Amino acid sequence: MNRHHQQVFGRRASKTNKVAARCLSCVLFVSTFISATLARSGSIGVVAFVIAASVGALLATVLLAYAPRFAAAVASFAGLIAILEMILDSA
């Protein structure tokens, strides 16, 4: 991940940034799983979560390999889209 951080942000990641990114990603991962299972039934929520996580990981891999600077912009918009989808899905 050091190489990807340097490609996206143009500098090496500090130890504090690494720890913060790992903790934040764990919190987001768990909260996404919980919201997917609460929004739908348990089994359907787990399947939807696994599919969404797989597609997201595939897209992140492709973006980091071919367009690392563009990946940061896409990630910020992806978060907004996910929040809007969650709000609209619950309405």
Q: Which residues have CB under 8 Å from 12's CB, separation 6+?
A: 2, 5, 6
Express as a percent the part of the chain with pLDDT over 90.
0
Cβ pair 5, 13 in contact under 8 A? yes
The residue segments making up the domain with residue 56 are 2-90
* Neighbour count for residue 58 (Cβ, 10 Å): 10
Residue type (1 letter), 4:
H
pLDDT of residue 1: 67
Task: Please give the tally of structural domains in the chain.
Answer: 1
Q: What integer is the mean pLDDT of 39-67?
A: 84
Q: Is the pLDDT of residue 77 over 70?
A: yes
pLDDT interval class at 91 (50, 70, 90): low
In Å, how far are 10, 33, 63, 65, 82 from 40, measured between CA atoms? Answer: 41, 11, 30, 34, 16
Report pLDDT for 61. 83
